[in-house]
Each structure stands twice: as structure tokens, then as C-alpha cells.
Amino acid sequence: MIPNDTIDKLALCFASLSELGAQLSPAEWKLPSDCPGWTVQDNLSHIVAYESAESGGGRTTHQAPKFDYVRNPIGEANENEIDSRRSLTGAQVLSEWNEVAARRLNFLRTADESYFTKEVMTPTGPGTTADFLHIRVLDCWVHEQDMRRAVGIPGHLSGPAAEHTIDRLIRTVPIVVGKRAATPDGQSVVIDITGGVPRHIVCTIVDGRAALVNQEPEAPLSRITMDTATFLALATGRQTDQQLADKITYSGDLDHGRKVTSALNMMI
């Protein structure tokens, strides 16, 4: 089956990135983002490199200097691509992006089913090209939000791509509530996300295992409330709960609630 819904979400991300980039001044492109060592421009360069390679473009032969925030081979490969574009202006990277995005979407819109069912290695393990595209939506939307936070231009915090990404991040809440925060057996933690992607998350420990459930108990151990942008920043490790303290509300066992939010980073 051709994942048209996922392609449509990618198209939304691509268009939103182009729209955002068109608003930025030369100085804004060079502002630091929450990704260590990366500017606003670097975030877009990262996406350009991935989508260019997936649509038939070659990889750079450039070797980036050694940076202390690069910790694995994937990071090194990412940095080589990003560093190869650091001498460019933001407008030049945006121009490359617009060409790459158009080419990539045309390819995806015209590919046959065999392309999407091909087995590949994804960042989360073995899967298909369709599975990989699901992760590309997440990556593009998250980095768009990294760029928006850095320049103070909020946007695209709702809609299909935002919902897709938040729901994927929510999948790992049981690991946080159960293993990392060591919530006692029989107890529940409730996380309410407000704003762009409203979600009511109830995670309960049953026989030592954490699971997302539909029914909220009368008195959950802890309740945590935050907006979509705050949840995203925590779940992707961009900012800490201490940095975002004024945007998070706790009730019930406050110490346990903070154990959850301090462990909410779900990104590799």
C-alpha cells in the first residue's frame, strides 16, 4: 500500500519549512538552536541532506572538524553534511531546500508500491521505506519547531504532522513512567497536553508493567499539565523541566511528577 497519508504529512512539513525560511533575516539564520552546536540554518541543512540523499543526491565528501557534541557515527555523518553548508547563507540553503523538497515530493508521489514496501534499516530498527517515512515526518516537524523556537516565530503546532509526531512520542511514556520514574504498582500518572495537539494520557502500572489506559483512576498519583510546545521540548530533550518550570503544572505527588518530567526525554 502506498502511504499517501504519510506523504501528505511530509508535504505539509516541507511547505511549512519553506514558508518559515522565507521570513528569516540573515542574522536569524545564524541564531543558535536547542540542538547542541547547531544554528537555525544547520537544522535546515540537516533536513536538506537527508531528503537530498533519499531523492538520489550524493553524500558530501567533506569532513567536519571534531566537535564534542558529536558522539557517534550517525552524528558524524550528519555533521559532515551540515558543516559543508556552513559557509553558505541561509538564503542559499533555503534555495537548495526548495529544490530538494520539490524533487523528493515528486518522487514520492510517482513511486510504485514496491518502493514503499522495500525493507530498510530505520532509526528505530528494521522496517520498510513506509516506516522510515513515518520517522521522516517526525524529524522534519521537530526540527522545524527547533528553528521556530530559536527565532521566536511559533507556528505549525497543530494539524496532521504535529499530531503524528506527538502521538509517536507518547508511545514511550510507559517507559518514562514505569522504568525511569519507578511509579509504584497500581498507581497512575496522568499527563494532560493542551494547545495545538491536546491529549489526555493515563499511564498505569499493573503487575509491574506500565501501560497507557483509557480510564483515569479517581486519584492518580501525579497529574502533569503542559502545552504542546512544552511537551515537545521535554520529550525531545531540547530543554529540561527546570528550564520550563513556569510552563508545567503539577498536582498530587509533586516530587513524583517531577521525577516523570525530568526523565521525559525520549529521543535517541
Regarding whether 134 and 201 lie in a shared domain, the answer is no
Per-residue confidence (pLDDT) for residue 66, from 0 to 100: 85
**For the chain, how many structural domains are there in total?**
2
In a domain, 254, yes or no: yes
Give the number of residues written for the chain.
268
Regarding whether 198 and 145 lie in a shared domain, the answer is no
Q: How far apart are CA 20 and CA 148, in angstroms?
A: 8
Look at residue 206 and tell me whether its pLDDT is greater than 90: yes
Regarding whether 208 and 125 lie in a shared domain, the answer is no
State pLDDT tens for residues 10-41. 999 999 999 999 999 999 999 999 999 999 99
Regarding whether 128 and 19 lie in a shared domain, the answer is yes
Per-residue confidence (pLDDT) for residue 268, from 0 to 100: 56
State pLDDT tens for residues 47-56. 999 999 888 7
Q: Choose the final residue of a domain: 156, 189, 208.
A: 156
Regarding whether 130 and 196 lie in a shared domain, the answer is no
Range of the domain at 107: 4-156
Look at residue 96 and tell me whether its pLDDT is greater than 70: yes
- In degrees and rounded to multiples of 5, residue 84 shows phi and psi of -65, -15
In a domain, 163, yes or no: no
